[in-house]
């Protein structure tokens, strides 16, 4: 499947992945601090293990502690 992650299209062999598995597959740093948005909806952290992403989905990883105006 192809999904768009943080604005870039990424390809996966699997046809679906849970958000937890996606965080591992993408080697996301500090996963305990990331917020995940799937198709514009922010997920509850408790739902990472049960929410499934599939072909054509748009995913954004957001860190509340990153960014700012240095």
Partner 1 sequence: MSDWSFETRAIHSGFNRDTKTGATSVPIYQTAAFGFDSAEDIADVFQGRKFGHVYSRISNPTVSALELRFADLEGGLGAVAVASGMAALISVIQTLAKAGDRIVASRSLFGGTIHLLEDVLSQMGMGVDWVEATNLAAFAAAIRPETRGILVEIIGNPKLDVVDVRGLAAIANHAGVPLIVDNTMTTPYLCQIRELGAHIGVNCMGKFLTGNGNAIGGIVVDLGTFDWKNSRSERIQEWSRKVGKMAFLTVMRKLVTVNTGACLSPFNAYLFLMGLEALAVRMDRHVINATSLATHLASHLAVCHVSYPALPGSGFEDLVKTQFGGRGGALLTIRLGSKEKAYLFLNALKLVTIAANLGDARTLAIHPASTIYRDFSESEQQASGVYVDMVRVSVGLESIQDLFHDFDQALRVIQGSSLKNAIGETHA
Q: Which of 17, 19, 22, 34 binds partner 1 (CB under 8 A)?
A: 34
- Stated as kind and residue range, the H or E segment containing 66 is none
Q: Where are the alpha helices (DSSP H) in 1-70?
A: 19-25
Tokens (6 digits) for 70: 């240095």
Collapsing DSSP states into helix, strand and coil, what is residue 58?
A: strand
24 lies in the site for partner 1, by CB under 8 A = no
- Stated as kind and residue range, the H or E segment containing 32 is none
Interface with partner 1 by CB under 8 A: which range of 14-22, 23-31, 49-57?
Answer: 23-31
Q: Which of 6, 49, 54, 56 binds partner 1 (CB under 8 A)?
A: 6
Which parts of this chain interact with partner 1 (CB under 8 A)? 6-7, 28-30, 32-35, 37, 42-45, 60-70
């Amino acid at each position: 499947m192809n999904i768009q992650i943080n604005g870039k299209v990424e390809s996966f062999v699997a046809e679906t992945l849970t958000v937890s598995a996606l965080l591992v597959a993408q080697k996301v740093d500090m996963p305990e601090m990331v917020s995940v948005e799937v198709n514009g909806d922010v997920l509850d952290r408790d739902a990472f293990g049960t929410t499934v992403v599939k072909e054509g989905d748009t995913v954004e990883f957001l860190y509340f502690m990153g960014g700012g105006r240095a």
